[in-house]
Chains A and B, each alone.
Chain A
Amino acid sequence: MFLRMLIESFARRRTRKLLAVTAVWIGLSLVIGLLALGLDVGDKLNRELRSFGANIKLQPAEAAVDVRIGGFELVAPGRTVYLDEADLPRLKQIFWRNNILAFAPRLNTQTRLAERSVPLVGTWFNHRVTVEDAEPFVTGAAKVFPYWQVRGAWPKDSESCLVGSALAQELDLNPGDQLDLVTDQGSASLRIVGVLTSGNEEDRAIVAPLSVVQRLAGLPGKVAQVDIIALTTPENKLAERYGRDPQTLTPAEYERWVCTPYPGSVAADIQNAVPGSSARVVRRVAETQGAVLGRIDGLMLLLGLFVLIASTLSIMGMLSSAVLERRGEVALLQAVGAHRADVLRLFLAEAVAIGLVGGALAALTGQVLGRWLLRMIFDSASEPHGVLLILAPLLGLLIAIAASLPPVWRTVHQPAARLLRGV
């Protein structure tokens, strides 16, 4: 009897029930979509922080300390120590290899151009790094220095280069011009394909492919510095203690430090992987990233909570109104002899069905919505979250019951005659 009434209720009010399921579906899809977004937002924002540029700098351990005053530089012989370019693929073989998002080597020298000495910077632009037992990794200046503004194009071959904006202005250089560079070790003819504005020393330099600069500097296979973007966790008290004195850490704390991608522990891992190197954390970038992440995590959590509460209330409102519209039906059921408990059971069973179906549909569409939002905002993909597949029907169930129970409860406790009169 009960089951027949339930089935009849759905069959006779197909449109109404379909609307209720749709309301739960749409509402929960948004909730699940936002939850899917929320689960990934921390990681994605962390990745977005690469827009601040390199947070770890790798140099030869024996590199000399510069004495530079307003552009005047005393160049010490220690500078002749270099890193081997061939060692760089090791950065993608360390324990934290998945946290290494991009890196670009540098080699600086001087070249003669228009009867004057001009700084020449060699780097990778979009370089394919072959890593043993792993997929090739494409990296270079375009990824490591996202703040570089290039008017024109990035160099794609070993015969093109960028010219710094200040130098271009001074020497009236433009994309398409040919440069004849001469050093003691050789010469090269490069075509300017873009004018670079970095806000740094590159604005006054020629930026060319690393292999060309290595040849002109007479340093084949050598690099002076590597700028690295690594995905890291903001430093906490443990990391600060390690920074002050590693000896104060207990073995357990040290293990925790090693197994957490603090900038310092990632830098230490890199330093161990590349012979003769010294990895330094670029504090300005690391601290800024830490500050941003620390604030954003809290902010997103609070805003997400408000969205969840508002969404739940809205869905409850929609379902409640649907129940309120059926007060006459409740009264009629009571008038023909149904007990309050029977009426409650019938309405709750309907709510359970609506909640479960709407929630199950939302589990699928919400995930799709979340992935679409992530792609739209962060331009990156994400893995489906299994937990949401279970959470969505459960949320649907709870919301539907919570939304239906109070109005039905109120209605069954009102005199049936009054309700049937429509007062």
Chain B
Amino acid sequence: MLGRMVAKAILKNPGVSLWTLAALTTCATLAALFATTAMEVQQKMSGELRQLGANAVAYPAPASATLPQTTPAPPMDWSAIEELLHARDVKTARVTLHVGLVEGRPVAVAACNPQSLTAMTDYWSVTGRRPNGSNELLAGRRVATMLGLSLNQRISIQWLNGESPGQYRVVGIFESGDEDEDRLFVPQVLATGAAVGPARFAQVPVTHPQVPGVTAGRYANCLSCHAATDPKIRNGASMPLSPGSTDAGSPLPTTSDFSYILMSIPGDVSAIRALDQAINDLELPVQITPLQQVLHGEEHVLTKINLLAGLALVAVAVLTALGVCAAVLARVVQRRKELALLQSLGATRRAVGVLLLLENTAMGLVATIAGFILGTALAQGVVRQVFHANVQPRVGALAAAAGVTLGVCLLAGWLGARRAAQLQPAAILRGD
């Protein structure tokens, strides 16, 4: 009976019902739009920023937290960790660093798969191009300036670990603004973990002594230190090298290689922590270091965006609430004769109020569904326009649309019921 009355009341006043429904649908649409956009922006922006590079690095776990540089980890088998990372959809790039000699000058040479490296360093500004072939090389701007490298120049890199010298062509010079600019990047991954001992260091020629070499650093016995201090070497002689000890008194490393994995982990800090926990559970000798600078910035900006979206949602909710209230009150005025008749037939003011609330709730439910569909479609348009990606219908957005719309409905219904309660049936039915 009540349901029929509600349905008839809505259908009998199509004009004002449609108007109220339109106001409610606008409210639900905007609620769904802002909720979907806020959720999608978080994900899409995070994904977008992930394409710019890594948000964490996996290093071999040091024996000592403070002095890993004097006690490096033994050659690392990364296969288990890489398997785990790929299973978790983590983009990776394994970088192996070597010390090489270019025209007698020591340089850091990083070996990495070019495709993986591109995925992690999309932000580099490259003049020329990135390497495709195994004998192509990408040079950091600073090291290129130091070595006087130019595009298409061919260079030979001698390896301190005894590998045969590599011949490379410089195909690109990049700027990154960080320590990568001090390195040469080659695609070919050299044999890692080759033990470096006196025999392997022996007779490495020094052919470019203009740079006075390297002063007493931690490689107390390294080639460059001798080049700096020994006049014979300055004149182009060769000299034997052997691992010694650091100025801190710790032994030098037994390998010249050092590997780490750049990781682009989907999600935020919690995802990185979860991965770190998974690695700890498997007792893998790896330490995950989140890139705090990137993560902090991302989190901060996303918080602000969500705050803005939330604020816009509140403003829209207030405005649409005003609109819906006005529509509902107009509806009461238009139907005053009908409501007066109901009261004269015995309906209590409470019953009339309940009828109006139910009418509003019914329209609110219809508006919620229509608004959710429309809001999701609009969010799709917005996200496609801004991020060139699709959105998924969100349960959270449906909940937001339902919450805001039904809240507005109940508020407007309550105001309408109050207005209806003030009607004087006799006077209205008389036509006063």
Q: Give the interface of A toward B (CB within 8 A).
A: 23, 26-27, 30, 33-34, 37, 41, 45, 48-49, 51-53, 56-57, 64-77, 116-118, 145-149, 166-167, 169-171, 197-200, 204, 240, 243-244, 280-288, 291-292, 295-296, 298-300, 302-304, 306-307, 310-311, 313-315, 317-318, 320-322, 324-325, 373, 377-378, 421-422
Central interface residue in B45, B98, B297, by most chain A CB within 10 Å: B297
Dominant secondary structure at the A interface: helix
7 contacts between A and B (CB under 8 A): A41-B308, A65-B107, A69-B99, A71-B68, A285-B293, A310-B30, A378-B304
Which residues of B sit under 8 angstroms from A318, Cβ to Cβ? Answer: 322-323, 326
Contact partner of B124 (CB less than 8 A), chosen from A73, A283, A300, A377, is A283
Cβ of B319 under 8 Å from chain A: yes
CA distance A299 to B127 in the complex (A): 32
Cβ of B405 under 8 Å from chain A: no
Cβ of B333 under 8 Å from chain A: yes
> Could you say which of B81-89, B111-119, B218-226, B344-352 contacts chain A?
B218-226
Which residues of B sit under 8 angstroms from A240, Cβ to Cβ? Answer: 125
Which residues of A sit under 8 angstroms from B69, Cβ to Cβ? Answer: 70-73
Which B residue's beta carbon lies closest to that of A293?
B301
Which A residue's beta carbon lies closest to that of B428?
A422
Known interface pairs A170-B65, A243-B125, A303-B382. Does A74 touch B219 (Cβ–Cβ under 8 Å)? yes
Known interface pairs A292-B301, A377-B304. Does A307 touch B106 (Cβ–Cβ under 8 Å)? no
Known interface pairs A70-B72, A298-B385. Does A34 touch B315 (Cβ–Cβ under 8 Å)? yes
Minimum-distance CB pairs A-B, first 9: A70-B258, A71-B69, A52-B297, A199-B292, A314-B323, A147-B296, A321-B330, A282-B177, A287-B123
Cβ of B402 under 8 Å from chain A: no
| Chain A nearest Cβ from B224, distance in angstroms | 6
Contact between chains at B228 and A77 (CB < 8 Å): yes
CA distance A71 to B33 in the complex (A): 49
Contact between chains at A75 and B308 (CB < 8 Å): no
| Chain B nearest Cβ from A331, distance in angstroms | 13
Which B residue's beta carbon lies closest to that of A313?
B26
Which A residue's beta carbon lies closest to that of B222?
A74
Contact between chains at B308 and A199 (CB < 8 Å): no
Contact between chains at B293 and A307 (CB < 8 Å): no
Which B residue's beta carbon lies closest to that of A115?
B249
Cβ of B311 under 8 Å from chain A: yes
CA distance A243 to B30 in the complex (A): 43
Cβ of B316 under 8 Å from chain A: yes
Contact between chains at B107 and A26 (CB < 8 Å): no
Cβ of B104 under 8 Å from chain A: no
Known interface pairs A68-B182, A170-B64. Does A76 touch B34 (Cβ–Cβ under 8 Å)? no
CA distance A35 to B215 in the complex (A): 61
Of residues 48 to 94 in B, which have CB atoms within 8 Å of A's CB atoms? 48-49, 52-53, 64-69, 72
Contact partner of A373 (CB less than 8 A), chosen from B19, B99, B217, B311, is B311
Contact partner of A288 (CB less than 8 A), chosen from B124, B218, B297, is B297
Contact between chains at B214 and A284 (CB < 8 Å): no
Contact between chains at B316 and A311 (CB < 8 Å): yes
Contact between chains at A51 and B323 (CB < 8 Å): no
CA distance A422 to B253 in the complex (A): 98
Contact between chains at A117 and B247 (CB < 8 Å): yes
Contact between chains at B253 and A66 (CB < 8 Å): no
Q: Mark B318-330, 1 if CB is under 8 A from A, else 0.
A: 1110111011011
Which residues of A sit under 8 angstroms from B309, Cβ to Cβ? Answer: 303
Which B residue's beta carbon lies closest to that of A323?
B330
